[in-house]
Amino acid sequence: MTNETVSPQLGAIAREDEHVAHNYHPLPVVVESGEGAWVTDIEGRRYLDCLAAYSAVNFGHSHPELVRAATEQLGRITLTSRAFHNDQLGPFVEALARLAGKDMVLPMNTGAEAVESGIKVARAWGYRVKGVAPDRANIIVADGNFHGRTITIVSFSDDADARADFGPFTPGFRSVPYGDAAALEAAIDENTVAVLLEPIQGEAGILVPPSDYLPAVREITERHRVLFIADEIQSGLGRTGATFQCDNAGVVPDLYLLGKALGGGIVPVSAVVGNRDVLGVLQPGQHGSTFGGNPLAAAVGSAVVGMLATGEYQARARMLGERLHASLRRLVGQGVVGLRGVGLWAGIDIDPTLATGRTVCEMLLARGVLAKDTHGATIRLAPPIVVSEEDLDWAVQQLADVLAELRG
């Protein structure tokens, strides 16, 4: 095949594959632009984005309010480091603390950094406040968790791909079955400083725990004087029809871990949010980030928090989520063997005798829908909250057509 016969898309993919580390297996589409819930590839084809960058694009691509906030700040100053103050950080952390009903914010960049920071804070709190003996602190986590891919985080993952050939691993974690409050309590001892959980396990396939699980975790952690850390990096900031999924469960954790949508799909922004009696354990020099709390990130983050403060996006995710799940339930028995989710977030188990999740996502791609597979035969849908009812219905119909084609 000559260079002249290679399509722009295939050429761009080949160029990327030649020089980028192969730690991802993306679908064969090269996105060039996006607006709202839709993106366009370099050959002009349009796709409905039903992944939203794993919930980082909750408010859609190129949201005018977020673009305006970023553009205005770009013309002023983008980075000072925390060696100095900047005029955007104060308003951002004040607004985010108010949104979460907490006192303090530790600004970081990526979700994994928020998780790592939460672990450090919990250990420091355990030693300095609870009185745990030096270097004896442990943290309870859940089987099937996904909190990131740093060495410490994969140390308590049970995903073989995340762990293979990356040891030795960081000690200090105990994993128990997700959704089992009794097992969680049994794992707690005098050196336990925190329980770290996803209110809904995203990467595991949008696993929603029993309705009494998070309230039980909150009661157990309070009774044992253990911090409850909620990783709301994917589930938070409107995705499940509430500001936080913990709101839906009627619980308030000691620490929220936030990221993804906090940066509006424009810049990486993450945060640990909690009260002064916990986050106040950090003193100057004990933790930091050159880019954490930078003016550009703070300006965008402030705009995101302002949008969420209206409640409009949470209400829209609830309404559209009911529509999405009602439509998807009609596919159970028609090639779908399991369905889970809350709000605009769905995990769909495809009959493994029909196809893998990857195959279904490739067939959806050919029909103009972007989705992502996980764990063999499960696909995930998480469209931007700004998606229209008509576009949402159309996406489900494409899935129905794909399943009909597979069933023959």
φ, ψ dihedrals at 165, nearest 5°: 70, 20
Angstrom distance (rounded) from CA 173 to CA 300: 34
- In the chain, % helix, strand, coil (3-state, to 5) comes to 40, 20, 40
Helix (H, G, I), strand (E, B) or coil at 82: coil
Catalytic residue among 92, 102, 173, 260: 260
pLDDT tops 70 at residue 171: yes
d(CA 383, CA 127) in angstroms, rounded, equals 42
Give the residue-averaged pLDDT of 161-170.
96
Q: Two tokens at 338?
A: 């399991």
Report the DSSP beta bridge partners of residue 332. Answer: 336
For residue 187, what are its two tokens?
A: 């794992």
Q: How far is Cα 24 from Cα 320, in angstroms, rounded to an integer?
A: 30
Q: 259-303, pLDDT tens digit by residue?
A: 999 999 999 999 999 999 999 999 999 999 999 999 999 999 999
**At 50, is the pLDDT very low, low, confident or very high (cuts 50, 70, 90)?**
very high
Is 146 tagged catalytic?
A: yes
Catalytic site residue 156? no
Pick the catalytic residue: 49, 59, 92, 146? Answer: 146
299-339 pLDDT, tens digit per residue, is: 999 999 999 999 999 999 999 999 999 999 999 999 999 99
Nearest in space to 113 (alpha carbons), one of 305, 295, 310, 268: 268
Residue 201: DSSP 8-state:
B
| Residue 92 pLDDT > 50 | yes
- Helix 312-329 to helix 295-309 angle, to the nearest 10 degrees? 70
For residues 62-70, give the mean pLDDT: 98
Q: Where are the beta strands (DSSP E) in 67-220?
A: 104-108, 138-142, 173-176, 192-197
Q: Phi and psi for 201 in degrees, rounded to 5?
A: -80, 110
Instruction: Please compute the mean of the pLDDT values over residues 155-171 and round it to a whole number.
Output: 96
pLDDT value of residue 166: 96
pLDDT at 173 over 90: yes
pLDDT (0 to 100) of residue 4: 60
pLDDT for residue 96 is more than 80: yes
**Structure-derived torsion over alpha carbons of residues 41, 65, 69, 72, reported in degrees to the nearest 10:** 80
Set out the domains of the chain in order of their start, with CATH numbers: 3-62+312-407 (3.90.1150.10), 76-309 (3.40.640.10)
Catalytic, 143? Answer no
Counting Cα atoms < 13 Å in the Cβ hemisphere of 178 gives 20
Q: Is 283 exposed, middle or buried (0-12, 13-18, 19+ CB in 10 A)?
A: exposed
Answer whether 231's CB lies under 8 Å from 304's CB.
no
Q: Which two tokens stand for residue 201?
A: 């396990």
How far is 383 from 391, CA to CA, in rounded Å?
10
Ordered DSSP codes for 289-341: -SSTT-HHHHHHHHHHHHHHHTSHHHHHHHHHHHHHHHHHHTTBTTTEEEEEE
Please report, rounded to a whole number, the percentage of residues in the chain having pLDDT higher than 70.
Answer: 99
CA 102 – CA 121 distance, rounded (Å): 15
79 with 312: CB under 8 angstroms? Answer: no
Whether the Cβ atoms of residue 110 and residue 267 lie closer than 8 Å to each other: no
- Per-residue pLDDT of 73-87, as tens digits, reads 999 999 999 999 999
Would the pLDDT of 178 be above 80?
Answer: yes
Catalytic position from the list 231, 254, 349, 373: 231
- pLDDT for the residue 239: 98
Token pair for 13: 């993919």
Cis-peptide into 209, omega within 30 deg: no
Residue 1: per-residue pLDDT: 44
Model pTM above 0.75: yes
Q: How confident is the model at residue 6 (pLDDT cuts 50, 70, 90)?
A: confident
Strands of the 336-341 sheet, one edge to the other: 336-341, 346-350, 378-381, 372-374
* pLDDT over 80 at 359, yes or no: yes
Q: What is the model's pLDDT at position 167? A: 96
**Chain segment 123-161, per-residue pLDDT in tens:** 999 999 999 999 999 999 999 999 999 999 999 999 999
Which tens digits make up the pLDDT trace of 196-255?
999 999 999 999 999 999 999 999 999 999 999 999 999 999 999 999 999 999 999 999
